[in-house]
Amino acid sequence: MTNFVELSIAKAINAGIRKAMQDNSKVLVFGEDVARLGGVFRVTEGLLDEFGDKRIFNSPIAESGIIGTAIGLAMRGYSPVAEIQFDGFIYPAFDQIVSQLAKLTNRSEGFVDMPVVIRVPFGGGIGAVEHHSESPEAYFAHTAGLRVISPSNANDAYWMIQQAIKSRDPVLFFEPKRRYWQKGQVNLDEPPQDMHSGRILRAGTDVTIATYGPMVVTALQAAEIAASEGRSIEVIDMRSMSPIDFGLIVESVRRTGRLVVAHEASTFVSISSEVAAKITELAFYHLEAPVLRVGGFDVPYPAAKLEEKFLPDADRILEAVDRVMAY
Report pLDDT digits (tens) over 18-59: 999 999 999 999 999 999 999 999 999 999 999 999 999 999
Domain boundary among 157, 187, 217: 187
| pLDDT on residue 1 | 57
Neighbours of 302 (CB within 10 A): 17
- Which CATH number is 259's domain given? 3.40.50.920
Q: What is the mean pLDDT of residues 68-79?
A: 97
Residue 194, in any domain of the structure: no
Residue 174: strand pairing partners? 120
Residues 251 and 113 in one domain: no
* Closest alpha carbon to 65 in 39, 42, 45, 92: 92
Confirm whether 132 is a catalytic residue: yes
- For the domain that residue 162 is a member of, what is the CATH number? 3.40.50.970
Identify whether residues 96 and 167 lie together within a single domain.
yes
Say whether both 283 and 211 belong to one domain.
yes
pLDDT digits (tens, 9 = 90+) for 81-118: 999 999 999 999 999 999 999 999 999 999 999 999 99
157 contacts: CB under 8 Å, gap ≥ 6: 9, 12, 13, 16, 151, 175
Report pLDDT digits (tens) over 167-208. Answer: 999 999 999 999 999 999 999 998 778 999 999 999 999 999
Nearest Cα to 110, choosing from 165, 168, 167? 168
11 and 72 fall within a common domain: yes
What local confidence, expressed as pLDDT, does residue 154 receive? 97
Q: In terms of domains, do 28 and 142 share one?
A: yes
237 and 115 within one domain: no
* Same-domain check for residues 156 and 277: no
What is the arithmetic mean of pLDDT over 225-242? 97
Phi, psi angle pair for 221, to nearest 5° = -65, -40
Q: Which of 166, 187, 208 is the last residue of a domain?
A: 187
Range of the domain at 125: 4-187
Residue 306 to residue 318: CA distance in whole angstroms: 21
Q: Which of 132, 142, 196, 286 is catalytic?
A: 132
Are 74 and 24 contained in the same domain?
yes
**142 & 39 share domain:** yes
Structural domain count, the chain = 2
Mean pLDDT for the chain? 96
For residue range 260-304, list pLDDT tens digits in order. 999 999 999 999 999 999 999 999 999 999 999 999 999 999 999
